[in-house]
A and B are shown apart, each in its own frame.
Chain A
Amino acid sequence: MKQRLLFAVAFGLLLALPGLWAQKAEAVYTSGRVDLKKAGGKLSSLEIGTRLAVGDSVLTSKDGRAELKLLPGGASLKVRPSSVLLIGEKNFSGQSQTALQVLAGSVSMKFEKLVEKEPLVGTGACVAAIRGTEVEVYAAMDGSTLLAVISGAVSLESGGVSVDLAADEAVEVRPGQAPGPKFAWLGREKDFSAWNRGRLEAFLADPLSAALEVEAQLADYRASLKGLLADLAAQTALYDTAMGELKSALEAKDEGRVATLRKEKVFPLTLARATIFLNVRFYALSALSLRRFALGDMYLELKSRHPLDLAAAYAPYLEAHRRILADFETTFVPQLVEADI
């Protein structure tokens, strides 16, 4: 209950972040069925001209395609069929940055010109910083990522290891693991379905290992979250003290002190808490993405193949699945709201 209250207060703090609720992208083209899931949870059809904000997701069906224009800067995001793109936000190196997360399927991103702050790109399992880039991002059913650089440069981090990619280079990243070796990219659109099918076959051959990789990635998110929540609690204690001082100054009608406290303590602490909370949300939503689009897809594949004998055929996998879900419920769900789901 206390955690829920803290969440509600902290969520309100996000309003303190300038530009957070600004529109981040606009739909400039759609074909087939394309849905928009608003940050508030509402599902609707994505129409051309619709503006998207932080927390919104675009979902394409098997015949659906969408093109978004990023605001500002005009970068082009092409969402291919059977894909999910989340427009998130993360505080990175002291600045809040748009984080474009390909949760499933594939998205091509092209930045026509350098903008003031280029977004982060990634999947539910990794995040990369880009510089003047055209990049292809693929997310497989087991949470694996394939990132290919067409032009520009990308710095990607996963499992505590960074890799720098130049034009015509690509890398595959498994959840919770260090990036694989770089390889040459042939400069043409990868057959995503073939790659995803390969990942599916690898999963079916050894589902337990795939589940354990997702568990390792979630453990990384849990560690980041734990640190952030400790920071948030510390900042909240400082904020409460500052608010106590402010109340005393107000009661004493000491206008000079009130102004000083507001400027030097209350506002900076409000902003600091909001910034921390932004990253709390980022990790919680990344965990949710991985839980839904990797762990959920894994479960779907096994359950639908063995609807009547799943427990007998895949007992160790099911045990891991249940353990991961139980941990997700206690670690990440308190940082989520129903609308996120």
Chain B
Amino acid sequence: MHRTLHPQLRLTLLGLLLPFLYFSCASFALPPGQGAVERTLALIDSGAMAAVPGRASAPFLLDGEILLRQADLDSLWSNLAAARLRLGPATIVSLGKVAAPFPAGFPNTMEARSFIARRLDASARLVLLDTAAGPWWLILEGQGLGGSRLRGIGGPLK
């Protein structure tokens, strides 16, 4: 005899199952979208560097340099805040996978190549920005459902 679950019971089970799947699959992450980029830029431009998601996520790529130590990341963000870095108003030129072909002037050091090949997950996205200070780039990586963290920043591209 074929039996089906009551719709309400099905919903309840689904509600229980989804968080379980989410938390048991830590590597699952959605690629960051335009909203994540805009939120990150807003935090940087407002000087709220301490709130930038991923600001302490080592390793981190700064232009062609890998920052491996948390102390280096602390220096980076405290100095950027002191220097009042503002990238806005900025427009998103492209948002795609971190893969060749890279834009002209993108760092081609072994550090950068290795970082991209070994230290990013599949959700990472390269964001090209047109800013008042010239073309800049960000690397954002997904973190859980809808979250994201900054993994790299650089510019201006020449």
Contact = CB atoms under 8 A, between A and B. Distances in A.
A320 B68 CA distance: 23
Nearest to A62: B71
B92 to A, nearest CB: 19
Nearest to B79: A304
Contacts, number: 76
A253 interface: no
A92 B110 CA distance: 29
Contacts of B109: 325, 329
Contact of A303 (B63, B70, B71, B74): B63
A301 B115 CA distance: 20
B65 interface: yes
B85 interface: yes
B117 interface: yes
B76 interface: yes
B66 A341 contact: yes
A157 to B, nearest CB: 28
B143 to A, nearest CB: 17
B69 A104 contact: yes
Q: How big is the B interface, by class?
A: 20 to 34
A299 B118 CA distance: 22
Contacts of B76: 300, 304
Interface in A1-59: 33, 37, 41, 43, 59
B65 to A, nearest CB: 4
Contacts of B82: 305
B103 to A, nearest CB: 18
B133 interface: yes
A231 interface: no
Given A300-B65, A329-B110, A62 B70 contact: yes
A307 B86 CA distance: 9
Interface in A165-224: none
22 contacts: A41-B118, A43-B59, A59-B69, A61-B69, A82-B69, A82-B71, A84-B69, A104-B69, A300-B65, A300-B75, A303-B62, A304-B75, A304-B77, A305-B79, A305-B82, A307-B85, A308-B85, A333-B110, A338-B113, A338-B117, A341-B66, A341-B110
Given A62-B70, A341-B114, 14 more contacts: A41-B118, A43-B59, A59-B68, A62-B71, A292-B68, A303-B63, A304-B83, A307-B83, A325-B64, A329-B109, A338-B117, A339-B118, A341-B66, A341-B110
Interface of B: 59, 62-72, 74-77, 79-80, 82-83, 85, 109-111, 113-115, 117-118, 133
What 6 A-B pairs have minimum CB-CB distances, sorted nearest first? A304-B79, A341-B114, A82-B71, A61-B70, A296-B65, A307-B85
